[in-house]
Amino acid sequence: MIPSLSFLREQLTVEALDDDQVAVTVVLPAELVRSYCFFLDSLAGFFRTTDRHSTIARALARTKSSSINQEAEDLKAAYRDRLVKSYDKYVAGGLNHKEAIKHIVSDLQKISHPWRTREVVSSTLKAAGRSGYTYRSRRGN
């Protein structure tokens, strides 16, 4: 078996070309061509995977930015406050829980709000303490 470093020193040539380019030539024994091609293919896959992971890591780092998180929290709080005020207004006007949610969803759809689905509105109201359920104490048997 040929030690890899001495093999490369003897069989690798680098030649300067125009426009700050170089030509790299590797002379291989015929029995190593297939292995060399597999090596290059796996190396290309390694760099593609590394590039994907670095893109994901940069995106995660951006989301951890405190200014972005603070802005997102402010938007969620404003949305929650808007829903609670609307809900309280509709319930005070005599609507039940389901009808109030239908009106809120309708209001949000008119302005094409991204969080306009019934499920999102309902879960936000529930998290804000507006589940619509009145709890009755159990009577003893």
Residue 55 sits in the same domain as residue 70: no
**Residues 6 or more apart from 107 whose CB is under 8 A from it?**
86
Answer yes or no: is 136 within a domain: no
Residue 57 sits in the same domain as residue 70: no
Last residue of a domain, one of 48, 63, 78: 63
* Residue 61: per-residue pLDDT: 79
* Residue 76: per-residue pLDDT: 93
Which residue stretches of the chain are H helix? 4-11, 33-63, 66-92, 97-110, 118-127
Answer yes or no: is 17 within a domain: yes
Answer yes or no: is 26 within a domain: yes
SS3 assignment, position 17? coil
The reported pTM is 0.49
SS3 assignment, position 99? helix
Q: Which domain holds residue 92?
A: 66-127
* Residue 139: per-residue pLDDT: 54
Tokens of 89: 């207004």
Please list the ranges in the chain whose pLDDT falls under 50.
1, 137, 141
Answer yes or no: is 134 within a domain: no
Answer yes or no: is 108 within a domain: yes
Round to whole Å and give the CA distance between 98 and 121.
11
pLDDT in tens, 93-120: 999 999 999 999 999 999 999 999 999 9
Answer yes or no: is 135 within a domain: no
What is the number of structural domains in the chain?
2
